[in-house]
């Protein structure tokens, strides 16, 4: 890898750790392309949801876990050739997200995110970064990513603020749909952006798709989850697709092949010979 964009996007993606579209409770396993077509072309009319409390309880309450280790196959499309990467992603709840990336059995990059910021090193170029979350926000064309929202992305949970007063909740044959009634203003560090937001959930409340469109620019972020299943009493997606459009465009595909809930060591240190990359 010749630049940090794919490495840090993967860290943010991990997340998000995780992908998904619902492997429905009946065990059906749908192709992610077919899923995307389904939620964009609902086969029945959106109807108001009567039991909103149950919906919000399912989509907003966080899963209970101490740590989770995820083995993934990662493909990054930026216009430059990047081989398929083998990733180990380790999430320690509320504390850290650690990731190790390999290509052709050799470690090529390693990174760690904490509530204070992100650190990463590229072993192929012997460089490293030490930054806050603003850099990841710039890479994803948004302005609201912090550590907790990163964790939620990785776990396939709702990572944007939703409320009954600001969104319309309806139900169709594919599940539940939430659409912002007006553009949503998100302000962080004196920076304000406005987004049109749409979310789609399966009938069993698994998150299928989140789409954010900046109303004042061509920037868009879309994250789709598929092939959900239950592990250690936690619903997790096996596939995730992140599409970034606008001033910067790229795509990240993760195929999560294994979930493990045991604790592991997450070594991270930068050799003295590595050169720091200054983030501007």
> Rounded mean pLDDT of the chain?
85
Q: Model confidence over 68-81: pLDDT tens digits?
A: 999 999 999 988 88
Q: Is the pLDDT of residue 37 over 90?
A: no
Window from 12-21, 52-61, 157-166, 217-226 with minimum mean pLDDT: 12-21
Instruction: Output the CA angle 111-112-117, nearest 5 degrees.
Output: 120
Residue 30 has pLDDT above 70, yes or no: no
User: In this prediction, what percent of the chain has a pLDDT beyond 90?
Assistant: 69
Instruction: Compute and round to an integer the Cα radius of gyration of the chain.
Output: 18
DSSP the chain: --SHHHHHHHHHHEEEE--B----TT-----HHHHHHHHHS-SS--EE-S-HHHHHHHHHSPPP-SEEEEEEEEEEESSS----EEEEEEEETTTEEEEEEEETTEEEEEEEEETTEEEEEETTTTEEEEE-THHHHHHHT-S---HHHHHHHHHT---S---TTTEEEEEETTEEEEEESSPEEEEETTEEEEEEEEEEE-TT--EEEEEEEETTSS-EEEEEEEEEEEETTEEEEEEEEEEEESSS-EEEEEEEEEEE-S---------TTPEEPPP-
Q: What confidence category does residue 5 fall into, taking pLDDT thresholds of 50, 70 and 90? A: very low
Out of 33-37, 55-59, 73-77, 137-141, least confident range:
33-37
pTM value is 0.82
Q: Does residue 41 have a pLDDT over 70?
A: no
The token duo for 212 is 């954010």
Rounded to an integer, the average pLDDT of 19-44 is: 43
pLDDT band at 258 (very low <50, low <70, confident <90, very high): very high
- Under the banding of pLDDT at 50, 70 and 90, the label for residue 44 is low
Question: Taking residues 17-34, what's their average pLDDT?
Answer: 40
Tell me which of 3.40.50.1970, 1.20.1580.10, 2.30.40.10, 2.50.20.10 is the CATH number of domain 4-268: 2.50.20.10
- Tens digit of pLDDT for each residue in 158-209? 999 999 999 999 999 999 999 999 999 998 876 899 999 999 999 999 999 9
* pLDDT the model gives residue 33: 42
Looking at the predicted structure, is the pLDDT value of residue 2 above 60?
no
Does the structure show a pLDDT above 90 at 239?
yes
pLDDT of residue 48: 86
User: Average pLDDT, stretch 228-256?
Assistant: 93
Find, among 104, 75, 103, 100, the residue nearest to 88 by Cα.
Answer: 100
Q: What is the pLDDT of residues 75-129, one digit of tens each?
A: 999 888 889 999 999 999 999 999 999 999 999 999 999 999 999 999 999 999 9
């Amino acid at each position: 890898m010749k630049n940090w964009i794919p490495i840090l996007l993967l860290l943010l993606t991990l997340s998000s750790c995780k992908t998904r579209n619902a492997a429905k409770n009946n065990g059906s396993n749908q192709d992610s392309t077919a899923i995307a077509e389904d939620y964009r072309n609902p086969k029945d009319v959106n109807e108001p949801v009567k039991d909103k409390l149950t919906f919000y309880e399912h989509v907003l309450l966080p899963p209970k876990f101490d740590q989770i280790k995820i083995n993934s196959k990662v493909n990054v499309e930026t216009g430059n050739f990047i081989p398929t990467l083998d990733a180990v992603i380790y999430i320690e709840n509320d504390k850290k997200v650690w990731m190790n990336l390999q290509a052709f059995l050799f470690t090529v990059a390693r990174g760690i995110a904490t509530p204070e910021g992100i650190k990463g090193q590229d072993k192929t170029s012997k460089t490293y970064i030490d930054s806050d979350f603003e850099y990841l926000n710039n890479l994803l064309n948004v302005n609201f990513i912090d550590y907790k929202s990163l964790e939620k992305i990785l776990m396939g949970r709702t990572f944007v603020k939703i409320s009954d007063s600001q969104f319309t909740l309806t139900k169709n044959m594919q599940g539940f749909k939430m659409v912002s009634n007006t553009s949503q203003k998100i302000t962080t560090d004196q920076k304000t952006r406005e987004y049109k937001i749409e979310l789609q959930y399966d009938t069993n409340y698994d998150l299928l798709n989140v789409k954010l469109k900046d109303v004042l620019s061509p920037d868009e972020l879309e994250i789709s989850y598929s092939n959900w299943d239950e592990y250690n009493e936690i619903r997790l997606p096996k596939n995730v697709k992140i599409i970034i459009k606008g001033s910067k465009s790229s795509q990240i595909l993760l195929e999560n092949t294994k979930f493990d809930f045991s604790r592991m060591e997450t070594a991270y240190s930068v050799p003295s010979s590595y050169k720091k990359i200054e983030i501007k």
